[in-house]
Structure 1
Amino acid sequence: MLWIKALHIVFVTSWFAGLFYLPRIFVNLAMETPGSTTERLLLMARKLYRFTTMLAVPAVVFGLVLAWMQYSGPEGMKLPGWLHAKLLFVVLVLGYHHACGSLLKKFERGTNKRGHVFYRWFNEVPVLLLLVIVILVVVKPF
């Protein structure tokens, strides 16, 4: 079980690194006028989004395996309240990840309507989600 937990932590950390950086690229894209650096930034964003998606899959899979190993029994899954809350926030992270993909498509099509200030605030969302998830896992408040 410790191997699964270690792998889960590594993939979650790597996934969040991508979620922290991708919106920073969006900030720069929103500030750019069309030109050569825009294409380079779009290429970076596409590659990072793909790589981040590949990291999200094992992070989620290892997390579900951990929950199953820890809380399954003859009477079925009995998840504690904090884990229900954590899973809700993981779904929100997955939604944020998907939103990043949608925003990237808008930049690629040249249909982005939002300015760099929006993306600076958008960039803070994964920090807050990670903070809540870590507190739920460590403190187990309920």
Structure 2
Amino acid sequence: MSTRYLPILQAITERLGEINPDRLVTREWKDFALRQDPDLRRGVWMVLFGGITRYPYETSDNGMDTDVLRASENGRVRISIVGQVLLETGATGLDVEEAEFVLIHELEQLADEAMATEPLQALVLQSVVNSQQIETPYAWVVSTWEVFEVN
């Protein structure tokens, strides 16, 4: 992975930690089964590089003009932010749904604040999916983001 993507990933990680300091925020994926219950109870955010969705060849440098960006210098970056929470024994599906609403609210706060914050200004929330109560007492969300410009 090109190191030019690391600052945006780091900025997202830091900002999520500020939005809810009680949560564990990491750049490393781990399944629920590999995490400690105390971490899961407080909630975990994982900020993950998801690849390049598109290279803008139509505006790329064809080798003639050095002032134009090369196609590989301005790809659209996909980022996934995954949230995990373990609720208490006896939690209901509605409890899981409520915990997921809280996670989604934190993602929406990140999206709203990113619009006015360098280097997150080009970060755009694309979608969020949740567990739909299927894995009670585990709550989770997976969000997809795109960065439209990485310099």
**TM-score with structure 2 setting the length:** 0.28
More strand by share: 2
* Structure with bigger RCO (C-alpha 8 Å, 6+ apart): 1
Q: Could you tell me the TM-score, scaled by structure 1's length?
A: 0.30
